Structure 1
Amino acid sequence: MKKLSARVLAGTAILASAGLLVGIAPSDAAVTTRAAVSAHTKPALNPASLSYTYKCWGHPDNCNVSVYAPKGWKFTQLSVAHAKFTDSSNTWMLRVDGSLGGKVSTNTAAQQRVKALHSTPGLKIVSRAHGTVKSEVPWSTPPVAYTSLTYTYRDGARGQRWVSTRFVDTYTQGKHAYIEITVAGRPQDQAGLNRVLAKATQWVALVG
């Protein structure tokens, strides 16, 4: 009986320590571990498997930002103009922030992000690029101009992560960054995430 009690206490202490290390309760630590394992074993995101749905959000009873996002991904509104979409295992993410306000150009916004990422563990800047694409939004006339920043970094729980962010200008050919679109996942998910990013770029809009 004493041996059994000792084992139970030791096991409880280990779980409690795991919870404290990541700032969560022991029961949540087990859920987090299962999610991390699921993310590691999940097949790469296949572009052909994706379908999309229209989503709009903003102030209560109003639409301020709209985009086409992968169907079935969970929608979470982070602020009035800022939201994210994630798959069930939290392996893949699309995030759209329409609150940039055009204060700087798309190129300057990308430069500022590189500086902000300076101390990120394992950071490697993969590429920076400028581009334009025809908007698919019915009421939008100018092409969408953007500056892309793609990088990888090391996440303690999930391992190597791949991220691509576009600072988007839907009005003035890149002179003002109004929207940030970010996709994230594992390096092997690049093809699928690039498709998500391309779709979002063509359909993102500031509505009202």
Structure 2
Amino acid sequence: MKTAVLVSGVVLLGLVGGAAGYEAGRLTEAAPTGSGSNDPTLPPDTPTVGHKLKTPKPNTVPGLKAKGMQFQGHTFTVRQRPRPSVRISIDTPEGWDMTTSKSTPGEVKFLDPLRERGVRVESGFPPDLTPEEFRDKLVGGLGDSQPPENDLRILEESSAEIEDENGYPRSVATLIYTYIPNETRRYVIVRWIATEGDKATVEMSITGLPQDADGLGAVLFEATKTVQLKN
């Protein structure tokens, strides 16, 4: 599986998990904060001495809001050869365009009209690691994938059990971080979901701007509850 930092440079695509209650079609309950408990022992990553950090330029795009957000269902097929195809259903924000690429047949992306926010959904990889193991693997290589001047900051690592739309529990692990790939700071949330059993079968990353926290939390909440692997 690709790491989230390499997905569209993660510029168009991971989220803050702190959405409060929101109006989203049929859902009006409160979204979980960070999908689990924050680890207070995690300090912000410290840049290597001698490297000048980038100064992010403010992005004046209004923040994405959860209130009034509507969702629509999608069903699609992905494949990571030589493994068989996987059919997936998921709800994403209404009006976000679904995009695919021949170079990444194991994933689908949904991008907002401004191309500032996005959802990437990946499946079809071998289900041999738990959500926590996938998260720890990414954390282990994340620092090496970004030059110090990009000011990578890991904000949260969490685990939780969340009910899907049918009331069945599923284990999830979440990583939240920010960095400056170009000129603007990006807010990234990566989540691994065990739709069946205890092994992760879906990876999703939701990306936007820091001011999008409220809306992106609603997107993560809805996507986590509704994503299903179809037979």
Task: Tell me whether the two structures share a fold, i.e. TM-score over 0.5.
Answer: yes
Q: Hey, what does 1:193 align to over in structure 2?
A: 216
Out of 121, 124, 128, the position equivalent to 2:153 is 124
For the pair 1:134 / 2:163, whether they are aligned, the reply is: yes
AA aligned opposite 1:49? G
Q: Hey, what does 1:207 align to over in structure 2?
A: 230
AA aligned opposite 2:185? Q
Q: Hey, what does 2:97 align to over in structure 1?
A: 74
Q: Distance in 2 between matches of 1:101 and 1:49?
A: 37
CA contact (8 A) 1:142 1:170 kept: no
Q: Aligned-pair distance for 1:115?
A: 2.1
Q: Which runs of 4+ in 1 moved over 4 A?
A: none
- Equivalent residue of 1:50, what SS? coil
Q: What stretches of structure 2 of length at least 5 have no aligned partner?
A: 1-56, 80-84
Q: Distance in 2 between matches of 1:59 and 1:127?
A: 29
Q: Distance in 1 between matches of 2:141 and 2:69?
A: 32
Q: Distance in 1 between matches of 2:59 and 2:125?
A: 33
- Equivalent residue of 2:192, what SS? strand
> Which structure has the bigger radius of gyration?
1
Q: Distance in 1 between matches of 2:199 and 2:125?
A: 9
Higher relative contact order (CA 8 A, sep 6+): 2
CA contact (8 A) 1:135 1:142 kept: yes
Q: Aligned-pair distance for 1:116?
A: 2.6
Q: Quick check: 99-108 or 179-188, which moved more?
A: 99-108
Q: Hey, what does 1:25 align to over in structure 2?
A: none
Q: Distance in 2 between matches of 1:206 and 1:136?
A: 13
How much is the aligned-residue C-alpha RMSD, in angstroms? Answer: 2.2
Q: Distance in 1 between matches of 2:225 and 2:126?
A: 19
For the pair 1:88 / 2:106, whether they are aligned, the reply is: no
Q: Percent identity?
A: 25
Q: What stretches of structure 1 of length at least 5 have no aligned partner?
A: 1-36
For the pair 1:114 / 2:139, whether they are aligned, the reply is: yes
How many residues of Structure 1 are paired with residues of Structure 2 in the alignment?
164
Higher helix share: 1
CA contact (8 A) 1:56 1:63 kept: no
CA contact (8 A) 2:78 2:108 kept: no
AA aligned opposite 1:131? A
Q: Aligned-pair distance for 1:59?
A: 5.8
Q: Aligned-pair distance for 1:80?
A: 4.2
Q: Distance in 2 between matches of 1:108 and 1:59?
A: 23
Q: Aligned-pair distance for 1:164?
A: 0.7
AA aligned opposite 1:151? Y
